[in-house]
Amino acid sequence: MTAWRIGIIGGSGLYAIDALEDARWTTIESPWGAPSDAVLCGRIGAVELVFLPRHGRGHGIAPGDINARANIDVLKRAGCTDVLALSSIGSLQEELPPGHFVVVDQFIDRTVARPSTFFSDGLVAHVSMADPVCPRLSALAAAAVTAAGGPVVMGATYLAMEGPQFSTRAESRLYRQWGCDVIGMTAMPEAKLAREAELPYALVGMVTDYDCWRDEAAFVEVDAVIRQMRRNAGIARATIAAFAAALPAERAASPIDTVLDHALLTDPAAVPVAALARLDAIVGRRLNRKNAR
């Protein structure tokens, strides 16, 4: 058993958490480059939280420019045990209108230009992404949305697109044929990297619009997205507070805490010291510089 320390990744429209007590912005450096912003550390009741705005305060970072490796590395260095991500999304299903919240359980990754792993340049690992989110965290997140007064659906497939442009109608209709429910630009490779960092991860999607698959609808317009995003933000903040309040007093171990036990392929004696120095926060539980060459 251990204490919870929850990393919160805030998506579009969520750039701070008003409910945090003893809040302070802290800069944490990463060997993977600059993260999106400093982290806002504080607590809600007895639960410690570390908040990171995915696009930076003021929303100055485009989806393809987010340094997801640095973001996850910084949360790991901050001592986070789990990550709850919030993200604005488009809907690919009629029954998921703007204003709904969706707890995602599967992904299809269509991003093409983003570094998607910590493991290269001398240390190889293959983690399983068959079940890419933490079921315990996801159930708690869904209950928190309900407690916050938001309509929520548990379970959905998220299509991660490169962006920053929105879909063509042909693409949007293709994704529906694939069985996708929602679409966004930021959850990948974020979810993959969280798994590599042994951080249980859950994603709450906040629907801002219908994607452009509907014949009778106009194309997606940013001003409409922003209006809905602002309406969603209040429920998102209340969700975080409800989530923290509902956590068990002690955190039981998760199988995700030790996924690297079954994922590292490289002989520890063959790992370059430079690789271990860069990966100290990610693999320090399993390896250290004494193992390296």
DSSP helix/strand/coil, 120:
coil
**Which parts of the chain are beta strand (E)?**
5-10, 21-26, 39-44, 47-53, 82-91, 101-103, 106-109, 152-154, 157-160, 182-184, 201-210
Q: Which residue in 105, 181, 211, 215 is the catalytic one?
A: 211
Contacts of residue 100, defined as CB under 8 A and 6 or more positions apart, other chains included, come to: 91, 150, 151, 152, 153, 207
Give the DSSP H/E element, type plus range, for residue 194: helix 190-196
Buried b (16+ CB within 10 A) or exposed e, 151-182: ebbbebbbbbbebeebbeeebbbebbeeebbb
Per the CB < 8 A criterion, the answer to whether 126 and 152 are in contact is: no
18 catalytic residue (yes or no):
no
Please identify which of the residues 37, 131, 209, 261 carries the catalytic annotation. 209
| Alpha-carbon gap, residue 12 to 29, rounded angstroms | 23
In the chain, DSSP finds a helix count (H) and a strand count (E) of 7, 11
209 catalytic residue (yes or no) = yes
Q: What Cα–Cα distance (Å) separates residue 8 from each residue in 48, 87, 108, 188? A: 11, 11, 22, 16
Amino acid at 235: I
Q: What distance in Å separates the CA atoms of residue 167 and residue 112, rounded to the nearest whole number?
A: 15
Do 4 and 243 contact (CB within 8 A), yes or no?
A: no
The residues assigned a catalytic role are 209, 211
